[in-house]
C-alpha cells in the first residue's frame, strides 16, 4: 500500500464490487402494517356544502409493537378540505404504540363547498413508523393514493 492507494482509494474499488446495503439492521414495514381506507358516504356532492368521512383502519401485523402516525394530503388548489371552509389540506393523527395484532380505527372528515367541482380527487395517505419518539421517522413507510369521487 502506498500513498497513492490511500488517496485514490483502493477500498472504493472493493465497495463498487461488493456494495453493502444501507440500513441493513432495520426491518421494513412491508407486510407488517396494513392500511385500509373507505368512504362513508361513498362520494361528495358537487356544488353543495357536504361532507364524507374517510374511515381509516391501521393494523399492526408484525411481531413487535410499533409507534405509528397517519397523514393524509388533499390536492392544494381544489375546493375540498379537512375543515368546512376547505382551507386545511393536511391531516395528521398520532396513533401511539400499536401492539402486535392490534387495530386502530378512526374517521377523518372531508368537506366540500359550493365551489367544489365534479370529478375525481386524489388523496395521499401515509402511515409513518417512528422510533424513540415522533421526531424520528423510519425511512420505510406505507403510502397509498385514493381517489374520492365528487358527483
Query: Would the pLDDT of 74 be above 60?
Result: yes
Conformational region of residue 47, where left means phi above 0, alpha means psi within -120 to 50, and beta covers everything else: left
Helix then strand count (H, E) for the chain reads 2, 9
Give the closest residue to 38 by CA, choosing from 24, 17, 52, 23. 52
pTM equals 0.79
Note the pLDDT of residue 55: 98
77-112 pLDDT tens trace:
999 999 999 999 999 999 999 999 999 999 999 999
Average pLDDT of the segment spanning 122-130: 96
Is residue 146 packed enough to be buried (19+ CB in 10 Å), middle (13-18) or exposed (0-12)?
middle
How do 43-44 and 90-98 pair as beta strands? unpaired
Q: How confident is the model at residue 19 (pLDDT cuts 50, 70, 90)?
A: very low
Average pLDDT of the segment spanning 43-65: 96
Beta carbons of 105 and 45 less than 8 angstroms apart: no
Beta carbons of 131 and 75 less than 8 angstroms apart: no
DSSP 63: S
Amino acid at each position: 500500500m502506498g500513498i497513492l492507494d490511500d488517496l485514490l482509494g483502493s477500498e472504493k474499488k472493493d465497495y463498487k464490487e461488493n456494495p453493502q446495503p444501507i440500513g441493513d439492521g432495520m426491518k421494513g414495514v412491508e407486510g407488517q402494517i396494513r392500511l385500509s381506507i373507505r368512504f362513508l358516504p361513498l362520494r361528495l356532492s358537487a356544488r353543495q356544502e357536504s361532507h364524507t368521512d374517510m374511515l381509516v383502519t391501521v393494523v399492526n401485523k408484525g411481531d413487535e409493537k410499533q409507534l405509528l402516525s397517519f397523514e393524509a394530503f388533499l390536492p392544494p388548489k381544489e375546493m375540498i378540505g379537512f375543515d368546512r371552509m376547505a382551507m386545511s389540506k393536511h391531516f395528521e393523527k398520532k396513533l401511539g404504540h400499536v401492539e402486535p395484532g392490534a387495530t386502530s380505527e378512526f374517521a377523518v372528515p372531508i368537506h366540500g363547498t359550493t365551489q367544489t367541482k365534479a370529478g375525481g380527487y386524489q388523496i395521499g395517505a401515509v402511515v409513518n413508523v417512528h422510533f424513540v419518539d415522533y421526531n424520528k421517522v423510519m425511512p420505510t413507510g406505507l403510502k397509498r393514493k385514493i381517489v374520492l369521487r365528487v358527483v
